[in-house]
A = this chain, B = another copy of it.
């Protein structure tokens, strides 16, 4: 379907439940709450379904009060695969009416899909969609969209940023959003604990394949010892990729004993989504994720074998 058809679908339906993926990021939550506010502005019922809400993203929920209604229409935003719905998967799998997404590898099974892999963020799609729907962009909706766009592009740093992305962001800035504050919270704020964690993580860096791969790991033991949780562990993934000469940066985070959530960030010469697909994961060309099981050493060995396969 094209974007006008997606707009017409949203305009002609009601009682929306908006699904985001588990471990939601700025684009998932910005898309969810932005769309929710837009639909409510049009007089419709809408709520966002999410697995958890990291503290830094709470500002996105401003003005989104509880609404009591029977769900009629299910829309997923920024969800590349129903597997990524986490604890909401069982309830919603196979029930999505409309899927709006920007992941090239989108595998959601839904009767209606609008997927634009050229969009840097799902929120960039929503900006255009809201224009077609004659949604008035309030400051709060603009905050949601800006948050999604800035977080998915690393504040306009990554290769997915197009001139259109920048112009959309310019239009959002003109709506009076507090972009410097959002950016500071998203990109330039670290707790003391986070600094301690980074100091420790730097000590775990392991180079592999002639230093073209760097691996860091946050074991459960380390997490417990430092007392760090999701808030601190977010964002570690950018560390190994930054090292000069590294083509594949791998971040291993032990979620439960023997289960590692793995984030892969790559130079453009290596496809991160393909890499993670070997482990049943997925994502973007330069940023993807998967889960690997085993002890730290076993999981690392599996990942190294995969590195050997691509380098």
Report the bound CA distance from A236 to B169 in whole Å.
28
**CB within 8 Å of B: which A190-226 residues:** 190-192, 195-196, 198-199, 202-203, 205
Residues of B close to A161: CB separation below 8 A: 173, 179-180
Contact B158 A156 (CB under 8 A): no
Report the bound CA distance from A195 to B202 in whole Å.
7
Determine if A41 is an interface residue (Cβ-Cβ < 8 Å). no
Determine if A183 is an interface residue (Cβ-Cβ < 8 Å). yes
Contact B159 A180 (CB under 8 A): yes
Determine if A112 is an interface residue (Cβ-Cβ < 8 Å). no
Report the bound CA distance from A170 to B159 in whole Å.
13
From A13-21, A61-69, A238-246, the one touching the partner chain is A238-246
Residues 142-177 of chain A, each 1 if its beta carbon lies under 8 Å from chain B, else 0: 000000000000111111011110110111011000
Contact B183 A173 (CB under 8 A): no
* A187 CB, min distance to chain B CBs, angstroms: 6
Residues of B close to A198: CB separation below 8 A: 198, 202
Determine if A189 is an interface residue (Cβ-Cβ < 8 Å). yes
Q: Contacts A170-B166, A202-B199 known; A244 to B157 CB distance under 8 Å?
A: no
Contact A163 B171 (CB under 8 A): yes
Determine if A70 is an interface residue (Cβ-Cβ < 8 Å). no
Residues 81-113 of chain A, each 1 if its beta carbon lies under 8 Å from chain B, else 0: 000000000000000000000000000000000
Residues of B close to A171: CB separation below 8 A: 163
Determine if A297 is an interface residue (Cβ-Cβ < 8 Å). no
Determine if A58 is an interface residue (Cβ-Cβ < 8 Å). no
Determine if A256 is an interface residue (Cβ-Cβ < 8 Å). no
Residues of B close to A156: CB separation below 8 A: 155-156, 166, 169
Q: Contacts A183-B157, A191-B244 known; A173 to B169 CB distance under 8 Å?
A: no
Report the bound CA distance from A162 to B163 in whole Å.
15
Interface centre among A156, A159, A180 (most CB of B within 10 A): A156
Residues of B close to A184: CB separation below 8 A: 157
Contact A174 B163 (CB under 8 A): yes
Report the bound CA distance from A187 to B157 in whole Å.
8
Contact A203 B195 (CB under 8 A): no
Q: Contacts A188-B241, A243-B195 known; A173 to B166 CB distance under 8 Å?
A: yes
Nearest opposing residue in chain B for A195, CB measure: B202
11 CB-based A-B contacts, threshold 8 Å? A155-B156, A155-B157, A156-B169, A157-B180, A163-B171, A163-B173, A166-B166, A166-B170, A188-B238, A189-B243, A195-B202
- Which are the 5 A-B pairs with shortest beta-carbon distances? A159-B180, A166-B170, A163-B170, A163-B173, A199-B202
Identify 14 new A-B residue pairs, CB closer than 8 A, beyond the known A156-B166, A163-B171, A199-B199.
A154-B155, A154-B188, A155-B155, A155-B157, A156-B169, A157-B183, A157-B188, A159-B179, A161-B180, A162-B173, A166-B166, A188-B238, A190-B243, A191-B243
